[in-house]
Amino acid sequence: MRSRSRLGCLTPAGIIAALVMLGFVGMTALARGGVMFSPGKLNARAGRTIGGVTSHADLEGQCSACHVAPWSSETMADRCMACHTNIAQEQADPASLHGIIAQRDPDLFCAACHTEHKGPASELTLQTPDNFPHETLGFSLQGHQRQANGFPFQCSDCHGDSLTTFDVQTCVACHEERDGAFMAQHQQDFGADCLACHDGVDRFGAAFSHDALAFPLEGKHVEVQCAACHENVRTPTDFANAPAQCVDCHTKDDAHEGRFGTACESCHTPAGWTPANFDHNLAAFPLEGQHVDVACEACHINGQFQGTPQDCYSCHKQDDAHDGRFGTACESCHTPAGWTPANFDHNLAAFPLEGAHQEVACEACHLNGKFQGTPQDCYSCHKQDDAHDGRFGTQCEACHTPTRWDDATFDHDRSGFPLTGAHVNVRCESCHTNNQYAGLSSSCVSCHGEPSWHAGALGTDCAACHSTSAWRPAKFNLSHPEPRVDEEGTGIYHGGTTCQTCHPSTVRTYTCLACHTDNQGGEGDDD
C-alpha cells in the first residue's frame, strides 16, 4: 500500500488547483471592477459637482479613484484632497475647522471622521460624540457624555445646526440649568469665557484635589473659597501663578505689623493663628542653655517683643553676686548654661595673666572675693618674696618677668648709674660688695680711690680727665696758665713735654728753670 505524501495539500496537483483558483478570482475582480471586495454601497446623496461627479455613487466600480495600491506612495487622503481642494485650502488656515484638526493631529486621516460604503442614504460625516475625535479640536468630551436628564449628548446640543461654530454661552446656559447660584458666582469670580480654562477633561470638578499641587490645602485653608486666593484669574496660567507665601494673602492680618518680618510660617500653621510656635533661633537672640526654659513673658514684659534688651546685665542685674565689681559684661565669664561654672578671661582685664601667673589660684590675689581694686604692681603681692629686702627698690619688673624669679635680667641703664665702657664687663660683686645694692655712691673715687701720682692735687673728680673706656689716655681740662708772648710776638710753647717735665714731684708745683736755664737770675724767673 502506498504511503501518503507528508506535503499534504502541497502536492503538484494541489498547487495547480490553487493557482487556478487565484486566477479565477483575479479575473472576476477585474471583470466586475472590484465590486466583489466592496463592503457596501457608496453614498448617493447629490452634493457639489466635482469633476462631473455629484456623489461618490457616481464612482461605483472605480475603486482606484479613492483606493490606492498597497505599493503606492500615495495615501487615500491624497486621493481625497485631489478632489476636495477646498478642504486642502482649509487645512492651511489655522482658524478653520480642518486647519485646527490638521494642526493638532497632522496624522489624522479623512476616514476618521468621514465614512463610506454605508449605503446610498448614509451620512458621510460622523456626527455622534462617541466616534468623533473631538479632543483634536482642543475640547475633550470626557466630561460631557450625558446630559443632566441622563440622555447622551448629540452634536447639535452644543453646536446647533453647524458643526463648525460654537457659542460659549451654550456652556453658560446649560450649566445655569444645573446650578444657577454656582454659575453666577463662578462667572463673577472667573469670568464667562469658559473655554479659557476648561478643556472638557474636567480637571477642576468634584474630583479635583489641591493636594496634588505644590500648595496642598491644610487646616483653615480648606474652607477658603478659590477666588480668595485666585483673584482675577482668567486662565490656567493665572491659577498656576497664584502667590504661595503667607504674607501675600495675610499682610492685613499681621498683628505684629511687620515687627517679626514676613515669614509667618516660622511661628504659625494653617491650623490657625493660635497657638503659635516661635523659633527663637530665627531671631537675633537664639535661645541657649537655661534660656530655653524661660517663659516668654519673663523677657518680653507686657507683650513687648521688639526692642527687648539682648545684653545679660539688663535682665540679670539683680542676680549679679559681684555687685558690679566686674562690670556689666556677664558673658565674659558666664554662659547661658548657668552662672556656674564660670570662666574668666583675664586677658580682657587690665592685668592680663602671663607666665606663672596663669597657674595661680584666683583667691591668692583676690583675697576675700575682692576683685575690683586689686593692686597690679609686683611688690604689693611679692614683698614677702623679695630676697633683696628692698635694696633694689619695689620695681620688681625692672629685673624679673612673670615667668619665674630666678630668670632675672637687671638692666643697669634703668638705675641711676648706667654702665658704659669698661664698666660693662665688671662683675656685679666687684662694686656691690656684700650684696649691697642700695645706697652705693656713684662717684669714681669711691671705687677707684685717689691715684698716688696726683698727690691730692687734682681733687676727686676723676671724670674731669678720665672716661669709663680706660684710665689712659686722659684729658687734662683744668684751667692751665697760658704761656707768655715775647717782645717779637713769638709764642713760648711747651709742646712735646709731659706733665712730669714741669711737675717733677707734685702736679701742684712746677719749675721753669729746669728748662729755661738761660733765664736764671733775669727777668721772668717768676714764670
Cβ pair 462, 415 in contact under 8 A: no
State the pLDDT confidence band at 423, using cuts at 50, 70 and 90. very high
Supply the pLDDT for residue 509: 64
Supply the pLDDT for residue 458: 74
Q: What percent of the chain has pLDDT over 70?
A: 86
Tell me if 105 is assigned to some domain. no
The region of weakest confidence among 33-42, 247-256, 325-334, 384-393 is 33-42
Tell me if 4 is assigned to some domain. no
Q: H helices of 105-235, where?
A: 155-159, 169-178, 180-190, 226-229
Residue 65 burial (C-beta neighbours within 10 Å; 0-12, 13-18, 19+): middle
DSSP string, 280-333: GGGSSS---GGGGGS-HHHHSGGG--TT---SHHHHHGGG-TTTTTT-S-GGGT
Q: What is the pLDDT of residues 328-346, one digit of tens each?
A: 889 888 999 998 888 888 8
DSSP string, 201-261: S-TTSTT--GGGSSS---GGGGGS-HHHHSTT--SHHHHHT---SHHHHHGGG-TTTTTT-
The region of weakest confidence among 32-36, 48-52, 453-457, 504-508 is 32-36
State the pLDDT confidence band at 428, using cuts at 50, 70 and 90. confident
Tell me if 364 is assigned to some domain. no
- If you average pLDDT over residues 245-265, what whole number do you get? 86
Q: CA separation (Å) from 175 to 178, 181, 184, 199?
A: 5, 10, 10, 15
Supply the pLDDT for residue 305: 79
- If you average pLDDT over residues 34-46, what whole number do you get? 77
CA nearest to 421, candidates 451, 453, 458, 462:
462
Q: What is the pLDDT of residues 143-160, one digit of tens each?
A: 888 888 888 888 888 888
- If you average pLDDT over residues 477-506, what whole number do you get? 60
Q: Per the structure, how many domains does the chain have?
A: 1
DSSP string, 355-384: GGGGGS-HHHHSGGG--TT---SHHHHHGG
Residue 299 burial (C-beta neighbours within 10 Å; 0-12, 13-18, 19+): middle
Supply the pLDDT for residue 439: 78
State the pLDDT confidence band at 186, using cuts at 50, 70 and 90. very high
Supply the pLDDT for residue 190: 93
Supply the pLDDT for residue 24: 66
Tell me if 256 is assigned to some domain. yes
Cα distance between residue 513 and residue 462, in whole Å: 30
Please say if the pLDDT value at position 363 is more than 50.
yes
Cα distance between residue 285 and residue 262, in whole Å: 18
Supply the pLDDT for residue 507: 55
Please say if the pLDDT value at position 32 is more than 60.
no
Helix, coil or strand: residue 35: helix
Q: Across-strand partners of 114?
A: 125
Average pLDDT, the chain: 82
Supply the pLDDT for residue 407: 79
Supply the pLDDT for residue 183: 93
Please say if the pLDDT value at position 212 is more than 80.
yes
- If you average pLDDT over residues 240-245, what whole number do you get? 90
Please say if the pLDDT value at position 360 is more than 60.
yes
Q: H helices of 73-147, where?
A: 76-83, 85-91, 97-104
- If you average pLDDT over residues 75-100, what whole number do you get? 87
CA nearest to 245, candidates 214, 282, 220:
214
Grid coordinates of 230: 485666585
Domain that holds residue 233: 214-278
Tell me if 361 is assigned to some domain. no
Please say if the pLDDT value at position 255 is more than 80.
yes
Handedness of CA 257, 260, 262, 264 (dihedral sign): negative
Supply the pLDDT for residue 523: 44
Please say if the pLDDT value at position 354 is more than 70.
yes
Please say if the pLDDT value at position 33 is more than 70.
no
Supply the pLDDT for residue 134: 83
Q: What is the pLDDT of residues 369-391, one digit of tens each?
A: 777 788 999 999 999 988 888 87
Please say if the pLDDT value at position 490 is more than 60.
no
Tell me if 228 is assigned to some domain. yes
Supply the pLDDT for residue 524: 41
State the pLDDT confidence band at 429, using cuts at 50, 70 and 90. confident
Cα distance between residue 76 and residue 69, in whole Å: 10
Q: Which amino acid is at 179?
A: D
CA nearest to 393, candidates 415, 371, 424, 417:
415
- If you average pLDDT over residues 309-322, what whole number do you get? 91
Tell me if 264 is assigned to some domain. yes
Please say if the pLDDT value at position 128 is more than 50.
yes
- If you average pLDDT over residues 292-321, what whole number do you get? 88
Q: Which amino acid is at 192?
A: A
Supply the pLDDT for residue 448: 87
CB neighbours of residue 359 within 10 Å = 8
- If you average pLDDT over residues 396-423, what whole number do you get? 85
Please say if the pLDDT value at position 115 is more than 80.
yes
Supply the pLDDT for residue 493: 59
Helix, coil or strand: residue 50: strand
State the pLDDT confidence band at 508, using cuts at 50, 70 and 90. low
The region of weakest confidence among 29-33, 66-70, 303-307, 408-412 is 29-33
Tell me if 490 is assigned to some domain. no
H or E segment to which residue 499 belongs = helix 499-502
Supply the pLDDT for residue 522: 44
Please say if the pLDDT value at position 275 is more than 90.
no
Supply the pLDDT for residue 346: 85
Question: Rg of the Cα trace of the chain?
Answer: 63
Please say if the pLDDT value at position 452 is more than 90.
no
- If you average pLDDT over residues 90-109, what whole number do you get? 83
The region of weakest confidence among 119-128, 263-272, 422-431 is 119-128
